[in-house]
Copies of this chain bind each other. A is one copy, B any other.
Amino acid sequence: MTNKISPESILDAIKSCVPNDRDFIGLHEPHFSGNEWAYVKECLDTGWVSSVGKFVDQFEEKLAEFTGVKRAVAVVNGTAALHVCLKLVGVEANDEVLLPTFTFIATANAIAYCGAIPHFVDSEEKTLGLDPLKLDLYLKDIAEIRPEGCFNKYTRRRIKAVVPMHTFGHPVDLDPLVELCLRYHLELVEDAAESLGSYYKGRHTGNWGRVSAVSFNGNKIVTTGGGGAVLTNDHSLAKWAKHITTTAKVPHKWEFYHDQIGYNYRLPNLNAALGCAQFEQLPLFLQKKRALAKRYQEVFKTIEGIRCFEEPEFALSNYWLNVLLLNEEQAEMRDALLELTNNQGIMTRPAWTLMHKLPMYKECPRMDVSKAESIEKRLINIPSSVF
């Protein structure tokens, strides 16, 4: 049976997949049903709430173990993690850094914090993330390889890195991207803020670039209130990450000596305690989120002109935020759908405004981003909490 598409039929479809005993269904609400209280109370009882403590170490170990990287360094949020990642791979002022225009603002801001210039790339509909083949064609035109690295022939600036973002948890196509980075001498920094629990060809996201960034914001699959982490398989980079995120203080019993410009980006132990408890429930969260995604996918197969996004064949996705994509000819229904669902207590939201449309980034270099523009018009996120 197929149903005619309308804001009402879409609302009904969403409602059929989520609990019906609540006045309001958020987009992604945190879920505390494990040891959160016990661990947080332990922090308060022992007085270890701040920058040093056993939960920070435990949280870093759990995270490294789960994602399969050698080292994780906990920081204050995902934006800080991205900033540090770019510093670690050597992004400098006036470098260009490639990133999708379809991303959350943090990806572009982290580049700006380095004094570097965001350079926007198109996305592909298959992954909702950076399109590696289109980027390759583009670089053939604009890039020039010199002994000092990759340069933009037109702006004459160095292109230092690529930052793909695993959109709403769905991995980008990493194999061609890794190969492209090697060929063009670009550093690969994964923005894995949304993709904890997502795998590309059996290996966890955030385990492909030299360094990667994860987020534990309140709306993420695992939350620490606010938090993030840098992931890497390079022990010396991990050591450096820890150093520059803790004010670059040189360890000493009592002396205060800092050997470079550092940051106050360490995650408080209180927040790490919450994260440790959350991590214990991650397998359950992933299972429940996958089940919800399957429900959505099935029900939206019965409505013409719209689809619920499914993980690409090479991916196992965490389905952090479920995505509805309207067909091109139905795109104009988007705003009515947003109005109806939000008015009915079912929280939905459109795509982020594309980065190249924002006032501070509109003069930045970019390729043709017509696919991202098409996705932006047609995409809606729907409730995706752990139910």
A residues near B (Cβ < 8 Å) are 29-32, 36-37, 40-41, 43-44, 47, 49-51, 76-80, 104-106, 109, 112-113, 115, 217-219, 223-226, 247-249, 253-264, 266-271, 274, 338, 342, 348-353, 358-360
Contact = CB atoms under 8 A, between A and B. Distances in A.
Contacts of A262: 105, 109
Contact of A247 (B31, B105, B223, B350): B105
A198 to B, nearest CB: 21
Contacts of A40: 40, 44
A118 to B, nearest CB: 11
8 contacts: A76-B76, A76-B226, A225-B269, A256-B352, A256-B353, A257-B353, A260-B360, A261-B360
Nearest to A353: B257
Contacts of A44: 32, 36-37, 40, 274
Q: Per DSSP, are chain A's interface residues mostly helix, strand or loop, or mixed?
A: loop
Contact of A225 (B36, B105, B255, B271): B271
A267 B351 CA distance: 25
B218 A255 contact: no
Nearest to A30: B47
Given A225-B268, A262-B109, A359-B259, A254 B350 contact: yes
Contacts of A263: 79, 109
B264 A79 contact: yes
The number of times this chain is found in the oligomer is 2
A49 to B, nearest CB: 4
Nearest to A31: B47
A59 to B, nearest CB: 14
Contacts of A105: 247-249, 256, 258, 262
A219 to B, nearest CB: 7
A342 B255 CA distance: 12
A31 B49 CA distance: 11
A37 B45 CA distance: 9
A77 B226 contact: no
Contacts of A51: 217-218, 226
Contacts of A104: 256
Contacts of A268: 218, 224-226, 271
Nearest to A40: B40
Interface centre among A76, A104, A218, A350 (most CB of B within 10 A): A218
Given A79-B263, A264-B77, A29 B41 contact: no
A36 B43 CA distance: 11
B225 A270 contact: yes
Contacts of A351: 256
Contact of A254 (B106, B261, B349): B349
Given A76-B76, A226-B266, A226-B267, 18 more contacts: A29-B47, A30-B47, A36-B44, A40-B44, A50-B219, A50-B225, A51-B217, A79-B264, A105-B262, A109-B261, A109-B262, A225-B268, A254-B342, A254-B350, A255-B349, A256-B353, A259-B360, A260-B359
A274 B247 CA distance: 24
Nearest to A51: B218
Contacts of A112: 261
A261 to B, nearest CB: 5
Contacts of A225: 43, 49-50, 268-271
Contacts of A50: 30, 217-219, 223, 225-226
Nearest to A358: B258
